[in-house]
Amino acid sequence: MEILDSYKALLAEIGKLDSATSLLSWDERTYIPPKAHEARAKVVGKLAKMSFEQFTSDEMGSYLEKLSAMDTLSDLDKASVKRVSKDYKRFRAIPPALYEQYTIDRSQSEFAWEKARADNDFTAFEPYLTKMVDYARQFAELFGYEENPYDALIEDYEPGMTAAELKTIIEPLRAELVPFVQRLMEEGTPPDDSFLQGTFPADKQKQVSLKALEAMHYDFGAGRLDVTAHPFTTRIGPHDTRITTRYLEDNLLSSFFSSVHEGGHALYDQGIPDELTWSGLDDGASMGIHESQSRLWENMVGRSREFWHFFYPTLIDVFPQFEGIPLDSFYRAANRVEPSLIRVEADEVTYNLHIMLRFELEEALLNQRIEVRELPDLWRDAMKRYLGVVPPDDAQGVMQDVHWSAGLIGYFPSYMLGNLYDAQIYRTALREIDDLPGKISRGELLPLREWLRDKIHRFGRIYDPKELLQRVTGEGPDPQYFLDYVRTKYGEVYRLK
């Protein structure tokens, strides 16, 4: 069919441009020389504009209009036209020149954030962040919304979710988590983690991360592990999904769990079949579903007693100082709960509280109830209310995350939703995979990867997140699975009566 072939050819051209942009952006966050940032931002902006103009072109609109009226398309082609039509309508609202300038400013903002955080200088970062917030407000108005401008932005990350629905999830979840954390702190027996103090050379940490990724069946023939300031995973293109981590020589588990987390993202991307390449469907169903995969591997698997039963000897081979530490002691130490300053280092129980305060602040920013200059003080106040700790500086406070510098307002709730989804998905996996805990304890992680590939990965963006969750678990989203999980696990870890 000539029109279908032309439509697919245009998507492929856009995909190639996006692949080049992803590669340049990956380089920008890993190995680019510091003096090259300004020029690189312009190159990325140019490529992004070219892709954007092709995607929002009259030609694309004509293809979509004609294909939408056809009833002879395959189910896969119908899904592609439906998904691309939705994206086309949204991005058609943004002038190409505005998008190019946004891309350039975003790149410069990320570089400014990295330097300002290193210097602990929010004042230097403030004008860049103000510009990113202004863009977010513009885009929300251009996209349109019914109740809250935040709804227009979260649609990019979690289709179908709204600020109002998030509040109905957050309020009861916070009401359960805060007193549970207090109970763990006041009534529980905290694990001894003194043996995790020390110096752990980065090259040895890398050995451990590589061995963990190999155990997860991450395909190194289609990816790699590198170092960055803020860990991320990026799908450069077909058969090229790259992981990054960071090594803190005084914190062994930071890089380990970061690598496993990003490995979960990468397994999702590597599990998307070739037939979806450059079809508008070759991505995750949502960032929340994507986070469910990374958090499932990081927490449900990577922090489990079963995982450490098989992996602990590997760790000891690299770091012999753990030879005399019993497995149960290490497992409990790896699951210590403690209200902390840094989101990416947070434990399973307190992690969602970090997300809740970010949602509170960015939703208020977007609705102009607060301004960027107020963020440092408001952040400190929110940390005290949610977690009972106050950051001593802005580098460990409002500037700790890269997201706002990249204009990703509306992204953070995906992390919380991923935690809720993964508990629900993993409960289903326990029912459907014979003796899954036993398999994990023997280092047999392939059955879980293949189950996830069959249930989630192979569908890419064909289904919206709620529809996919219904297909996988037989239910809509239910936070109770997460609450049951943390109460049971951490009640045992902390020996609550």
- Do 45 and 101 meet the contact criterion of CB atoms below 8 Å apart? yes
Q: Could you give the CA distance from residue 265 to residue 321 in angstroms, rounded to a whole number? A: 31
Can you read off the two tokens belonging to residue 117? Answer: 């955080």
Cβ-proximal residues to 396 (8 Å cutoff; 6+ apart), any chain: 341, 342
In angstroms, the Cα distances linking 220 to 26, 92, 237 are 17, 38, 14
* Vertex 134 angle, CA 387 and 114, to 5°: 60
Distance CA 377, CA 370 (A): 11
**Helices marked H in 57-121:** 58-68, 75-91, 96-119
Sheet holding 233-237, edge to edge: 225-227, 240-245, 233-237
C-alpha distances out from residue 149 to 67, 136, 146, 376, 465, Å: 31, 9, 8, 23, 21
Q: How do strand 240-245 and strand 225-227 relate by DSSP bridges?
A: parallel
Report the helix count and the strand count for the chain, using DSSP H and E: 20, 3
Least Cα distance to 21 among 48, 52, 2, 3 occurs for 48
Neighbours of 207 (CB within 10 A): 16
Pair type for strands 225-227 and 233-237: unpaired
> What are the DSSP calls for 118-132, one per residue?
HHT-HHHHHHHHHHH
In the block, residue with structure tokens 């990081």: 298
The distance in angstroms from the start CA to the end CA of the chain is 68
Dihedral sign (CA 24, 26, 30, 31): negative
Which pair of tokens denotes residue 331?
């497992």
The residues assigned a catalytic role are 262
Residues in Cβ contact with 6 at an 8 Å cutoff, skipping those fewer than 6 apart:
63
Task: Give the DSSP letter string of 230-281.
Answer: S--EEEEETTEEEEEE--BTTBHHHHHHHHHHHHHHHHHHHTS-GGGTTTT-
Centroid of chain to Cα 270: 16
